[in-house]
Amino acid sequence: MSAARKRPVTPDATAPAPPPADLAPFRALVLERGRELYRDLPWRRTRDPYAIWISEVMLQQTQTTRVDGRWQRWLERFPTADALAAASPADVLDEWQGLGYNRRALALHRAAQAVSEAGGGLPSDARALQALPGVGPATAAGIRAFAFNLHSVYLETNVRAVLLHELYPEADGVPDRELVPLVEATCPTDASDPADDPRTWYYALLDYGAYLKRTVPNPSRRSSSHARQSRFEGSHRQKRAELVRVLLAHRGEGVDVLSACAELSAEEQAAGRRPLSAADVQALLAELAAEGFCRPMNGLWYV
Q: Which residues are catalytic?
A: 56
* 3 close to 29: Cβ distance less than 8 angstroms: yes
* 226 close to 220: Cβ distance less than 8 angstroms: yes
The C-alpha atoms of residue 22 and residue 187 are separated, in whole angstroms, by: 14
Task: Give, as one character, the DSSP assignment of residue 233.
Answer: T
The C-alpha atoms of residue 238 and residue 269 are separated, in whole angstroms, by: 14
Q: Give the CA dihedral 239, 242, 244, 250, nearest 10 degrees.
A: -130
- Please say whether the dihedral angle defined by the alpha carbons of residues 154, 201, 45 and 211, taken in this order, is positive or negative: negative
Give the helix/strand (H/E) hosting 221. none
Beta bridge mates, 42: none
Phi, psi at residue 171, to the nearest 5°? Answer: -105, 150
Long-range contacts, stretch 137-140, CB < 8 angstroms, 24+ apart: 138/56, 139/53, 139/56, 139/57, 139/60
